[in-house]
Structure 1
């Protein structure tokens, strides 16, 4: 054996195993440093003093998004929309009734001078054949006081009724009396408009009545969009709610109000989440999140997917689009689902939509989203393998080096 051949053989025997070991270490390191969204489970649990008990997975129902499922689910979605109870509808008109606390103006006319209120000829000059009684507030007993007529019931009566009563009491003492009664300051028929309005205020109910939408308008209108504004109406010890958009569109959701009602507006944005193989956060016009809000009263699954950027063409499995929600027991029973093993009225449910089918876009366009729904798009099966092989691409040069060393 030549000297050169001996050295070459020795190099191959010494260097090749070392390079192979280095290659193996780098491969293991590549496996260790594969991309991840967070720490490994073992890392989190390391050094923990108390660990929570392992619980059984939550039982759920999985359904294909068929036409029957869409109809049953949408019916429940509509049923969940808050609507104001009809029992709370106020009277169509208060007919100008006087209430306790209202300030009343009274003017008494006489046909000629020399009567009870008008001075006789030759007396002090005056500008007309009438006298104005000082304004007075209706007492807690519901009455007012009129000179020479005494205590007159006012609460619950119209100004015209009170005027006729006073006229009858003064007929025997005044000269053909005529009485005019008006409400100077209405304080008993007010409605409070508060919350997410531009000008929180107290609104007086007109004689012809006051509807809910008009009261909100007098409060400066809502500060938020109607589809995300909840209107709460409190009357006595009863409370009911509705969407402001429903008040605008549905006649019986715009009732007449009653004295003492409280109208409170609250902004409650409705939103949904998108996870999985969808465009990366920040790629949609700078939106750096996966939480998207509704932009109307209703939103379909197709609209929601489009707003979040659709499916990632490089990673998504179009046949594995899932929608997570808590579905009502009644809706699932209408779909024919056996719920014997499930308790409660809300069942964890996953709807599956195959976007690889041509009819999926029609079905998803009819399926209505709900607030807090979660859309999850699974990755295509080949994506995981592609990610792993990409992490090993940097080792090919080392492998070539080892092969070259063996050729000595």
Structure 2
């Protein structure tokens, strides 16, 4: 009887690949890792690699701080020079020491002049003429006016004060309590400053994304990351457009689990064990405890840190491609049969749009196949048991 069972199993191991199932077996995922489309036999197959989740991997991934705005998009830097721009309203006050000067009388030693910077960047000042203001600081403009008056006025002095400054404003819109154009102060303001001036976000930071449009460059980051990572809380620049959008972070749980679904984080952070638990865990009758996989597009710095530069270059030569945000496909393999997985899983962070897949045990397909071909119940049970031992 054992010989008959063994013969049936040998035939079934190849045939059971055609049995319907919920996604690939762990062995199929492992075999495709690191292979080129030509090796796999599919022209447009995605090239990826597998990384085992252990203490080192979990620590590297959790410690990595994404710098989407500052590094990836080149948007950042300090507050920059506060300069006058087109459309700005200025109050120029000219003082004279003499009683009967160009700008003074016996009763008043000063004359205030309100101007608006014209589209060509200039404005006219009496007895000075046309003055270029756009692109200059208040002090630079003051010195130019003062220089022009020294031969005309009696011991002149000048003070320039800013009024409305449309050239030094940013637009904040989207999921904020009050969309508005925000005028920047002279010391410079950061993303969180202008969002606060717009009434703050309408949703929690962990589900609010901030997009900064500056010229032809665009960068998006999670508000939670901006708050937690000061280097991401960049200084905004005049003319920036800032859009806040609500996008609840979700992950997808598939395979031999009790609930295949797309699930909201519903929390500030989420680890791998918590994510599996949100789907009510693996199906005890079908899941392969050694075959939990997390599919993700990861930042290149993390991929290189996990695989090494040589392996990364090898995979790119084979056809591994980045997505539109410059991230590369990686698959994390998690073995739930090890006791320390309960510790490692608590430190491995889940990210938005991750796909967690629990592969079914090979015995499931073998049992299906034996039943399809009409094998006696006893042989089917023995076949499943032998398959289970072989997989270990």
Q: Pick the TM interval, shorter chain.
A: 0.5 to 0.7
Give 1:304's aligned residue.
Answer: 275
Task: Decide whether the 8 Å contact of 2:49 with 2:330 is kept in 1.
Answer: yes
Partner of 1:292: 263
Which stretch of structure 1 is more off in the superposition, 231-240 or 62-71?
A: 62-71
Aligned positions, number: 318
**TM norm structure 2:** 0.65
User: Residue 82 of structure 1 corresponds to which residue in structure 2?
Assistant: 68
Give 1:200's aligned residue.
179
Aligned partner (choices 99, 107, 120) of residue 141 of structure 1? 120
CA root-mean-square deviation: 4.3
1:225 aligns with 2:204: yes
Change (3 A) 1:298 1:345: farther
Contact 2:87-2:116 at 8 Å conserved across structures: yes
Provide the C-alpha distance between the structure 2 equivalents of 1:163 and 1:348, rounded to a whole number of angstroms: 57
In the TM superposition, residue 130 of structure 1 has moved relative to its aligned partner by 2.3
Matches within 5 A, 1:374-393: 374-376=356-358, 378=360
- Alignment match, 1:323: 293
CA contact (8 A) 2:287 2:361 kept: yes
Out of 161, 164, 179, the residue aligned to residue 185 of structure 1 is: 164
Report the equivalent of 1:373.
Answer: 355
Contact 1:192 1:202 (C-alpha < 8 Å) held by counterparts = yes
**How big is each residue's C-alpha offset from its partner over 1:198-249, in whole Å with a ceiling of 9 and x where there is no partner?**
2221111211112222122112222222233322222211222222222212
Q: Could you say which residue in structure 2 is the equivalent of 1:131? A: 111
Deviations, residues 351-402 of structure 1 (Å, cap 9, x unaligned): 55443432221232233334231333648969x99xxxxxxxxxxxxxxxxx
Tell me, which stretches of 5 or more residues in structure 1 are unaligned?
Answer: 1-55, 121-125, 281-288, 386-408
Following superposition of structure 1 onto structure 2, how do residues 17-166 of structure 1 map, counting pairs within 5 Å? 65-67=52-54, 70=57, 74=61, 78=64, 82-85=68-71, 87-95=74-82, 97-119=83-105, 128-133=108-113, 135-166=114-145
Q: Which 10-residue stretch deviates more, 206-215 or 326-335?
A: 326-335
Distance (whole Å) between structure 2 residues aligned to residue 276 and residue 257 of structure 1: 45
TM-score w.r.t. the length of structure 1 is: 0.63
Contact (CA 8 Å) 2:92, 2:160: kept in 1 or not? yes
Q: Is the 8 A contact 1:137 1:144 kept in 2?
A: yes
